[in-house]
Chain A
């Protein structure tokens, strides 16, 4: 009688499970092989209104990947990019994320522009144990609500991006009494207003909010909103809008002389400056979702900034805007993490888990600053805010009186909820705002 004839049912089950699980467990323990190429999946908007950010992000990724490959790749391995369009929605994105991770076997994912996309992808990164770098999305909730082992953000989040312009306003226009907000009617518009309002109530109680206007996402006409603002004459108009809607709002407001009546605070307008030209007048406050600005007054690495800006301009005939810098930060963090993980692994190629372990407290360079990823996975990125001026050299408004906020000052500490932290701020914080830097040239 053959031994198999005496196999019990329990034995058969064990053998069956063993045959499935053993190779997997062995592969987890075995040292990872250096791949012939490093596959990176990138989710970004390639269509729809947010493609004004997504396509420059893709352009930057392609330019950077070519540069990396010319220099020999990451850890000696050339990179290959796989792009996924975020525009069809979260369900599609989640399916594509799985496909890239499981079928294409990408090594790393870069996700995403939309906060909704990031909120959907991050748990998936954890489930699939796939290192995922949140390269552009803003929601502060991700690392405040849960800890992740495989997801990390290589830039700031909404809290510093909104708190920094608020502090800049309080430092430079401390006497304002009334404010109106015109934000897009979706998650970012509402969340950024909550951050601003909470911070403002703590830092300067008593400011009267005379209008809260949330035109529909994708609106092409702000005439009624502008009429309302012209009639109300608020001291300050805040708008965290972006893309074509921000361009349209700026143009329509300028044509109707609203900029002469109120000081505008536009935390995302760095990305619109070149497009709106001189339509945006001098004297208004602009942010850049980070410290990226092609005329940064004190970049950490002037040569690197100049190379990036000129390389992008030559190739795409436009100045790089913030998503392109965010993409550069993701690539820089990835290179630094692989270098750290390879070193920690005795020069061998790291496994997914070893690569993930390299990100907490990782330091890496952006063209403008030395960056760090905290132990909770959140990136620490400085924030550059300035006031618009016009000069003879460029046909659009540029920034002057720039303040570069250190990230530790404007980011909620590890383990703290942003809104709860903002409520604890006091007016003396305004006194700690760094001195402004004048534009050179």
Chain B
């Protein structure tokens, strides 16, 4: 083991760096899905669409600002602005028009309805942005690269990916934790998460909490998309691949667990990059191997609590 580490330590270090960068984006998307499920108890398949629309909107806004002659640094706040616009417009719209009607329905029906919404939004994306890949890499170019020593060599990394994305993810995690535990609104959300009936009986307006939570989740999904836009070309279907991975994170973390989502995103991100480095054939299955391993030992997820079922 010692010999292996001595030989492969530098490579492992690089893999950890890649894993952390990858985990940051995974977390941003999965935490919104987890938050929504924790409060609304609706597994929202259309979360992937909000991610995709956030990404497309950020790219469009960034390209528009560039064409208007604004300086390159304006592309960074544009990412946040696009995510806020998408989340604040689409979140309440979806919650009020659609989800509010199905809160009391069977989970299968809820899944079907959000899946239908996902399909509609996929087509809407094609109508608006077409099918050709859309790219917007100004923020990545703006921040340049950092050289990481690797023996006598150096490995260039994008500053955007290894510094900015993890920083935003940590800020989101800390901000969400503080919001939920230190503010009245956050505590109200936690109360509804813990026991909806009791919270409602105490006079909490659950419908308002649902609206607020879903909007937060939508903003987080769109922010995940917006932050991913500068690193990848956007094509039809990006929402679908994102939602599958997010489900794996949510199931592994424990439904409704924010810190769990952060830890699981780290596990999956690092697991995938270590696999690429040492056993590339396992890369595709690593997230699901981690999920299966965790669920075999803790069926309620890493941070989930076992619930008694009412009969």
Contacts and interface: CB of A to CB of B under 8 A. Distances in A.
A172 interface: no
B155 A221 contact: no
A299 to B, nearest CB: 25
Contacts of B137: 251, 255, 279
Contact of A49 (B17, B18, B235, B281): B235
A55 B133 CA distance: 12
Interface size class of B (residues with CB under 8 A): 35 or more
B18 A227 contact: yes
Contact of B15 (A227, A243, A252): A227
A51 B133 contact: no
Contacts of B115: none
Contact of A230 (B21, B131, B156, B236): B156
Interface in B265-282: 272-273, 276-277, 280-281
Contact of A244 (B153, B233, B240): B233
B156 to A, nearest CB: 5
Binding site of A, secondary structure by majority: helix, strand, loop or mixed?
helix
Interface size class of A (residues with CB under 8 A): 35 or more
A223 B22 contact: yes
A257 B145 contact: yes
A220 B14 contact: no
Contacts, number: 131
A216 B273 CA distance: 13
Interface in B140-165: 140-141, 145, 150, 153, 155-158, 161
B276 A230 contact: no
B237 interface: yes
A58 B104 CA distance: 44
A255 B235 contact: no
A48 B238 contact: no
B61 to A, nearest CB: 19
A354 interface: no
B233 A275 contact: yes
Interface in A47-98: 47-49, 51-52, 54-55
Interface in A207-237: 211-216, 218-221, 223-225, 227-228, 230-231, 233
Contacts of A219: 241
A184 B279 CA distance: 16
B22 A52 contact: no
Contact of B237 (A218, A247, A257, A275): A218
Contact of A221 (B14, B22, B122, B141): B22
Interface in A183-197: 185
A224 B135 contact: no
A221 B126 contact: no
Contact of B283 (A215, A227, A255): A215
A276 B25 CA distance: 23
A248 interface: yes
A345 to B, nearest CB: 41
A49 B131 CA distance: 8
Contacts of A173: none
B284 interface: yes
Contacts of B132: 52, 55, 275, 318
Given A221-B22, A224-B15, A231 B141 contact: no
Given A213-B280, A231-B150, A231-B155, A224 B133 contact: no
B231 interface: yes
A221 B228 CA distance: 9
Contacts of A51: 126, 131, 236
Given A212-B280, A227-B14, A49 B237 contact: yes
B52 to A, nearest CB: 11
B117 to A, nearest CB: 16
B234 interface: yes
Contacts of B176: none
Given A52-B235, A220-B228, A220-B241, A256 B158 contact: yes
B22 A185 contact: no
B169 to A, nearest CB: 14
A193 to B, nearest CB: 13
A47 B236 contact: yes
11 contacts: A49-B235, A51-B131, A214-B283, A215-B276, A218-B240, A244-B232, A248-B232, A252-B231, A255-B141, A255-B158, A256-B145
Closest 6 A-B residue pairs measured CB to CB? Answer: A244-B235, A247-B233, A224-B273, A224-B276, A51-B131, A220-B232
Given A224-B15, A247-B135, 14 more contacts: A55-B131, A215-B284, A218-B237, A219-B241, A221-B232, A223-B22, A224-B272, A228-B276, A231-B153, A244-B232, A248-B231, A255-B158, A275-B132, A275-B135
